Amino acid sequence: MTPLIDVVFLLLTFFLFSIVLMVRADAVGVRLPTVGAGEPARGSEAISVVVGVGGVVRVGGEAAGMEEVAERVRALLARSPGAPVFVAAEADSRSGDLVAVLDALRGAGITDVALLGRPSRSGTP
C-alpha cells in the first residue's frame, strides 16, 4: 500500500508543477508581438503602459490620454519607488503611437523603461 501512495503523491506533484509551468502570467492582457532577444521581466509591482489599437493608451489598467501618460506614470512611481515601468504595444497597434508614448515618458525624465514582447519559441523573431 505504501508504494501506491508514493506513486500517487509523485503523480500529484508532477501535475501540480506542470500546471504551474503551463499557466503563463499575462502582464498586460494584450496580444504582444513576438521577440527573439531580451530577458524575462523582473519585479513584482510593475507599472504597465499599454498602447492599444487605435491609439488607446492604458496606464496601470486605466485609460489615459497621450498627454496624461507621463503624469500618471510619475504618480505611480511616487507611490512605488523603484517599480519597473513596462511598455507594451498590441501586435496590431501603430508604431507611431508607441513612439509617442516613449517620447512622452522620456520627456518627463522616465528613462528606465522596458518593452514587453512575447518570446519566440526558436529564439529568433
pLDDT attached to residue 29: 58
Residue 51, domain member (yes or no): yes
**C-alpha distances in angstroms, 9 versus 2, 16, 20, 23?**
11, 10, 17, 21
The model's pLDDT over 8-53, given as tens digits with 9 standing for 90+, comes to 888 888 887 776 655 444 444 555 555 565 555 555 577 888 888 8
Work out how many domains the chain is built from and give that number.
1
CATH number of the domain that residue 43 is part of = 3.30.420.270
The model's pLDDT over 93-116, given as tens digits with 9 standing for 90+, comes to 888 888 888 888 888 888 888 877
The model's pLDDT over 55-106, given as tens digits with 9 standing for 90+, comes to 888 888 888 888 888 888 888 888 888 788 888 888 778 888 888 888 888 8
Residue 31 is part of which domain span? 27-119
Name the pTM for this structure.
0.59
Cα gap 49→61, rounded to integer Å: 8
pLDDT attached to residue 40: 58
